[in-house]
Amino acid sequence: MTHKDNGVTALDLPMVDPLPERTQKFFDICQDKLGLVPNVLKSYAFDIDKLNAFSAFYNDLMLGDSGLTKLEREMIAVAVSSINRCFYCLTAHGAAVRELSGDPKLGEHLVMNWRTAPVTAPQRAMLEFAAKMTTESHAIGEEDRQALRDHGFTDRDIWDIANVAGFYNMSNRVASATDMRPNDEYHASFR
Amino acid sequence: MTHKDNGVTALDLPMVDPLPERTQKFFDICQDKLGLVPNVLKSYAFDIDKLNAFSAFYNDLMLGDSGLTKLEREMIAVAVSSINRCFYCLTAHGAAVRELSGDPKLGEHLVMNWRTAPVTAPQRAMLEFAAKMTTESHAIGEEDRQALRDHGFTDRDIWDIANVAGFYNMSNRVASATDMRPNDEYHASFR
Amino acid sequence: MTHKDNGVTALDLPMVDPLPERTQKFFDICQDKLGLVPNVLKSYAFDIDKLNAFSAFYNDLMLGDSGLTKLEREMIAVAVSSINRCFYCLTAHGAAVRELSGDPKLGEHLVMNWRTAPVTAPQRAMLEFAAKMTTESHAIGEEDRQALRDHGFTDRDIWDIANVAGFYNMSNRVASATDMRPNDEYHASFR
Amino acid sequence: MTHKDNGVTALDLPMVDPLPERTQKFFDICQDKLGLVPNVLKSYAFDIDKLNAFSAFYNDLMLGDSGLTKLEREMIAVAVSSINRCFYCLTAHGAAVRELSGDPKLGEHLVMNWRTAPVTAPQRAMLEFAAKMTTESHAIGEEDRQALRDHGFTDRDIWDIANVAGFYNMSNRVASATDMRPNDEYHASFR
Amino acid sequence: MTHKDNGVTALDLPMVDPLPERTQKFFDICQDKLGLVPNVLKSYAFDIDKLNAFSAFYNDLMLGDSGLTKLEREMIAVAVSSINRCFYCLTAHGAAVRELSGDPKLGEHLVMNWRTAPVTAPQRAMLEFAAKMTTESHAIGEEDRQALRDHGFTDRDIWDIANVAGFYNMSNRVASATDMRPNDEYHASFR
Amino acid sequence: MTHKDNGVTALDLPMVDPLPERTQKFFDICQDKLGLVPNVLKSYAFDIDKLNAFSAFYNDLMLGDSGLTKLEREMIAVAVSSINRCFYCLTAHGAAVRELSGDPKLGEHLVMNWRTAPVTAPQRAMLEFAAKMTTESHAIGEEDRQALRDHGFTDRDIWDIANVAGFYNMSNRVASATDMRPNDEYHASFR
């Protein structure tokens, strides 16, 4: 369980050195705005094409235009990561929920048991859909999509819920498979 | 379970019409080379930014440089999709295994029960890692990564195995959540 | 994983040689009608009493008089075998669904994810009952039987559904336990 | 949960009345030898062909020639039925273990938790194989069969273990699906 | 699997010898009233403080004032122990159900498959709540508590159901972890 | 999900008012030492006998003499509560791990995925035993106890591990069944 050159996973895949100028600028902005460069980005930086593809995909999904608020997308991230028990994602996105909601207790609650957390009825339906996608996606049927529509979600919203939930089912597994470790700074933030 | 305007999912998210020239060209190339435009691409084409981000991510992963052959990446796709019981991905990537291996029976076998399929010992280790990522990623430890190294996989190979297995854990779930349907052409191909 | 004398399982249990006249005739008829002698029959042929008991039981169940069509019985066979991930039975009975339905895509769909396959409402109820029997038979209650009656099934039909679903829960396990391999001919048939 | 005319299942499928002479004789022998006609036989007696096919299959398996003792076959029956939580089979075959072993406590122990019951090492291996067949038959590999051979079981013995374990995975499910009830006489017998 | 000095678990933790007078008196009363000193008490008797704390907790819960009858508390004990497959608790509390109900068959039925046992509708609701607590306590919501209220249970009754079900989820696990063996006398009693 | 008079559970079971002098003193000491009266104690205070029995049992187990340190007992509490996803216990005992270890990150890590947390080899063995007790106690065998002995644990230590793990399998379920909510003060403490 030693962590190698890039400092963030159990794999010996050091970052390109020096980083290309554009990547360095991107990392500098992260440092400026967030106070850290998320370790997940460092983990992909052994191959700049992969880093760029991942970042573009992530940014469109989590920061792009959507009927879901950024907090709601982070709530899905935490609920899915909780089912998959992903240390990296629970740490990073738990902090994001604490920050965006201004409610540290909500962040903790979603990490520990999303089912009993105090969220709105549509948000609960959204998390139930994401949870079913996580544990038995093959059993999803039209009645599950309709339940979301009945709570006011549009088909575009359903697409976004499905894609955010899908994304963390990917990145939870990549993080666990490579023993990716979150930046220490997340732990004490927004408590 | 009616399928809406874009013809490929249960969501009413029609493709941008007309498609931007660059996208149309991409789809024309697909039609030329594969005899079809994969429905998954059509499903993202209601938003060209999303389509581009998805395509770039996919192409880097499945077609880019790697220590894993394209067939091995498709084998992971099928084994993961089999555990998740994803109709879309099993159909499309089952066909890909049949094509790339020249062994229709192998494609069928991986769809039905990857554990008893005749693959090499390293390939079996690779599929076992992908399966553990799929069913209990939180339990992966250094011993699992070491098992891959013992079969000759490099840390970069492990990264690629993890990312391919992770990717299908995403796209299986998006496909099931939206009831994405595979192009009919796959079924009879390479039998 | 070498396959022994009888060519169809991992167990060294060669067929009686020569076969009794009546058995040889039965196998000749199979060859004539089906173009093959199903490997499952060869696997029991190390003991003619066992072969006869199995064949009689199978024939009554799958070919005998019933309110269920032969296709419906094969649909149950495939759905159950899919849950149990039995390579032998999915191959042989997937082919049977393709043949009897004249719809190759339906056969594939049931192999991959029966829950999203396009079947009638009564057929779906029938498959749900068979699936519940497969995964948690102890939880079946009167409400499950009533659900079948509400779709028009008689008590005799329910008996037949239960017995077909039960049978494949047996033969899936025998096939997997002995590594029984399907005849190659099934793979390309009725595509 | 009313029990219908035949008195033994929740389905309205009364026995043929009068029974054919040969069947009546068979039932009379049961009554003489066992002090009861097992309800499972009555449940099939709405159709004499089905009753005969079932009886022939059962008798060959449980009473026919085998390297396994009758007690060992009953031990498998109880362990499998315990995993599937089948009231009928646990009652009837729990009594059989008590009778054949002369050890009432062993019968109880196998019903409640076969894993901690005091059996020989080969018997434990046999029950582990039967249990794996019951819970994840698709994962059985050559190493599981070899483990049985290492305990002295022949390939024919393995066939018999597989078929007995398979059989109760069928009949447990048929019994639960039809709410089959055991004869009251079993409960107090051989305590 | 040898059982050590105290005769009841796989751990070498002999009873305090001689027992303090008060404890000896307690054990004498057990012997008088029950015909045995329950092995679970002997297992804690290596430390009299632990024995006293356990006994006090147990007696308040199972014998103290409650809206639930003693039989109902034992029914919960058996249903929970059945899910956890605890040999000790199924033996001891199965006997208690047989005794308190005067219905040996009911005791057996609850041991084998509580879901199909003939109990009243409120008792079934009570057992369903206890079972959900056992298998997925994190998913319990207000609707589950309300279902109990709808059957006439008070909030105090719900507390008692929760605490009895909780208790056996503890003691089942302690018994299994230490291989605690029930007194032989239970097996034949109240048949 | 309204919380009733006692403020800590979904059940309407107000505390005895006024509290008996001895109980009030106990609560005052809690307030003094911990800065709060743990809500779990308030939840039992509708019945002083129950409160006393619970407190005595808890204090012996978690604060009494043992070969396990208090931190180790809290680590077991968190690992078990994490598997059971208990919001109350993860909050309260997560804080305890942060306090006793002086390592906030360790507390978080155990809440999120105990399997990848940095603990000593004996502690990991201890948590594996507690986890197996939590998910499949019926499968624990002598080899599991021996694994603990091989790490230097005595039989008395094994008893304590089993009883602490057992206890949280009880209290997790009681807390979830009653929707018990942790004191807000825990969330920000020892970060």
User: What ipTM describes this predicted complex?
Assistant: 0.96
Q: Is residue D162 part of a domain?
A: yes
Judge whether D1 is closer than 8 Å to chain E, CB to CB: yes
CB contact under 8 A, A10 and B179: no
At residue C1, the pLDDT reads 41
Q: What integer is the mean pLDDT of B110-139?
A: 98
Whether B75 and B133 map to the same domain: the answer is yes
Judge whether D112 is closer than 8 Å to chain E, CB to CB: yes
Whether F49 and F104 map to the same domain: the answer is no
Whether A39 and A122 map to the same domain: the answer is no
Chain C: partners with 3+ C-beta pairs within 8 Å: A, B, D, E
pLDDT tens figures, C128-178: 999 999 999 999 999 999 999 999 999 999 999 999 999 999 999 999 999
Residue A7 pLDDT level (bands cut at 50, 70, 90):
confident
At residue D6, the pLDDT reads 59
Judge whether A9 is closer than 8 Å to chain F, CB to CB: no
CATH for D50: 1.20.5.810
Residue of A nearest to F110 (CA): A87
Closest CA to F162 of E85, E170, E15: E170
Distance CA(B145)–CA(B141), nearest Å, equals 7
Q: Is residue B108 part of a domain?
A: yes
Domain that holds residue E31: 14-63
Contacts (Cβ under 8 Å, ≥6 apart) of B28: none
At residue F178, the pLDDT reads 98
Q: Give the closest-approach CA distance of D35 to chain F in angstroms.
A: 35
CB contact under 8 A, A12 and B155: yes
Whether E83 and E168 map to the same domain: the answer is yes
Whether E42 and E130 map to the same domain: the answer is no
pLDDT tens figures, C62-99: 999 999 999 999 999 999 999 999 999 999 999 999 99
Nearest to F177 among E12, E137, E172 (CB): E137
Closest CA to D9 of D173, D181, D169: D181
Closest CA to E46 of E3, E19, E14: E14
Contact residues, chain C, for D85 at CB < 8 Å = 137-138
Q: Give the closest-approach CA distance of E60 to chain A in angstroms.
A: 30
Residue type, C178: T
Q: What integer is the mean pLDDT of A172-186?
A: 97
pLDDT tens figures, B157-179: 999 999 999 999 999 999 999 99
- Evaluate whether D153 touches D161 at the Cβ level (below 8 Å): yes
Whether A109 and A52 map to the same domain: the answer is no
Contact residues, chain D, for F138 at CB < 8 Å = 113, 115-116
Judge whether B115 is closer than 8 Å to chain D, CB to CB: yes
- Evaluate whether F60 touches E49 at the Cβ level (below 8 Å): yes
What is the Cα F58 distance to its own chain's centre? 9
Question: Is pLDDT at E7 greater than 90 in this prediction?
Answer: no
Whether E74 and E133 map to the same domain: the answer is yes
Q: Is residue B182 part of a domain?
A: yes
Contact residues, chain C, for A138 at CB < 8 Å = 113, 115-116
Distance CA(D11)–CA(C157), nearest Å, equals 10
Residue A6 pLDDT level (bands cut at 50, 70, 90):
low
Nearest to B113 among C87, C105, C113 (CB): C87
pLDDT tens figures, D123-152: 999 999 999 999 999 999 999 999 999 999
For chain F (191 residues), the mean pLDDT of every run of 10, in chain order, is 66 97 97 96 98 98 98 98 98 98 97 98 98 98 98 98 98 98 95 92
Chain A: partners with 3+ C-beta pairs within 8 Å: B, C, E, F
Question: Is pLDDT at C5 greater than 70 in this prediction?
Answer: no
- Evaluate whether F142 touches E179 at the Cβ level (below 8 Å): yes
What is the Cα E82 distance to its own chain's centre? 11
At residue D7, the pLDDT reads 75
CB contact under 8 A, C57 and D60: no
pTM for the predicted model, two decimal places: 0.97
Residue of D nearest to F139 (CA): D115
Nearest to B11 among A13, A57, A158 (CB): A158
CB contact under 8 A, D173 and C171: no
Closest CA to C191 of C127, C120, C105: C105
Question: Is pLDDT at D112 greater than 80 in this prediction?
Answer: yes
pLDDT tens figures, F124-151: 999 999 999 999 999 999 999 999 999 9
At residue F177, the pLDDT reads 98
Residue of D nearest to B128 (CA): D139
Q: Is residue A25 part of a domain?
A: yes
pLDDT tens figures, E68-119: 999 999 999 999 999 999 999 999 999 999 999 999 999 999 999 999 999 9
Judge whether C113 is closer than 8 Å to chain A, CB to CB: yes
Q: What is the DSSP string of chain C?
A: ----TTSSSSS--PPPSSPPHHHHHHHHHHHHHHSS--HHHHHHTTSHHHHHHHHHHHHHHHHS--SS-HHHHHHHHHHHHHHHT-HHHHHHHHHHHHHHHS-HHHHHHHHHHGGGS---HHHHHHHHHHHHHHHHGGG--HHHHHHHHHTT--HHHHHHHHHHHHHHHHHHHHHHHTT----THHHHTT-
Contact residues, chain F, for A85 at CB < 8 Å = 82, 112-113, 115
Judge whether C187 is closer than 8 Å to chain B, CB to CB: yes
At residue F2, the pLDDT reads 46
Judge whether F55 is closer than 8 Å to chain E, CB to CB: no
Residue type, D103: D
- Domain stops at, among F6, F36, F63: F63
Residue E2 pLDDT level (bands cut at 50, 70, 90):
very low
Question: Is pLDDT at A151 greater than 70 in this prediction?
Answer: yes
| 3-state helix vs strand vs coil in chain D, percent to 5 | 70, 0, 30
Q: Give the closest-approach CA distance of F25 to chain A in angstroms.
A: 30
- Domain stops at, among E63, E83, E98: E63
Q: What integer is the mean pLDDT of A132-157?
A: 98
Distance CA(C181)–CA(A27), nearest Å, equals 55
Residue of F nearest to D115 (CA): F139
Cβ-Cβ pairs closer than 8 A, A with F, add up to 55
If contacts are CB pairs under 8 Å, which of residues 146-185 in chain E contact chain C? none
Residue type, C11: L
Q: Do chains F and E meet with 3 or more Cβ pairs nearer than 8 Å?
A: yes
CB contact under 8 A, E113 and C141: no
Three-state DSSP class for residue D103: coil
Token couple for D130: 């039967």
Q: Is residue B159 part of a domain?
A: yes
pLDDT tens figures, E37-49: 999 999 999 999 9
Contact residues, chain E, for C138 at CB < 8 Å = 113, 115-116
Whether E91 and E117 map to the same domain: the answer is yes
At residue A1, the pLDDT reads 41
Distance CA(C140)–CA(C142), nearest Å, equals 7
Contact residues, chain C, for A141 at CB < 8 Å = 115-116
Whether F39 and F22 map to the same domain: the answer is yes
Closest CA to D169 of F174, C150, E15, C168: C168
Q: What integer is the mean pLDDT of A119-132?
A: 98
Residue B82 pLDDT level (bands cut at 50, 70, 90):
very high
Q: Is residue A3 part of a domain?
A: no
Whether A49 and A85 map to the same domain: the answer is no
Whether C80 and C59 map to the same domain: the answer is no
Q: What integer is the mean pLDDT of A45-51?
A: 98
The torsion region of residue F20 among left (phi > 0), alpha (psi -120 to 50) and beta comes to beta
Q: Is residue C2 part of a domain?
A: no
Residue of A nearest to B52 (CA): A57
pLDDT tens figures, D42-93: 999 999 999 999 999 999 999 999 999 999 999 999 999 999 999 999 999 9
Q: What is the DSSP string of chain B?
A: ----TTSSSSS--PPPSSPPHHHHHHHHHHHHHHSS--HHHHHHTTSHHHHHHHHHHHHHHHHS--SS-HHHHHHHHHHHHHHHT-HHHHHHHHHHHHHHHS-HHHHHHHHHHGGGS---HHHHHHHHHHHHHHHHGGG--HHHHHHHHHTT--HHHHHHHHHHHHHHHHHHHHHHHTT----THHHHTT-
Judge whether C143 is closer than 8 Å to chain E, CB to CB: no
CB contact under 8 A, B145 and A11: yes
pLDDT tens figures, C34-49: 999 999 999 999 999 9
CATH for A135: 1.20.1290.10
Distance CA(E106)–CA(D117), nearest Å, equals 24
Average pLDDT along chain E = 96
D138, HSE (Cβ side, Cα atoms, 13 Å): 22
Whether B93 and B115 map to the same domain: the answer is yes
- Evaluate whether F87 touches F181 at the Cβ level (below 8 Å): yes
Count of the separate structural domains present in chain F: 2
Q: Is residue B5 part of a domain?
A: no
Contact residues, chain B, for A144 at CB < 8 Å = 177
Residue A9 pLDDT level (bands cut at 50, 70, 90):
very high
The b-or-e profile of F133-167 (16+ CB within 10 A means b, else e) is bbeebbebeeebbeebeebebebbbbbbbbbbbbb
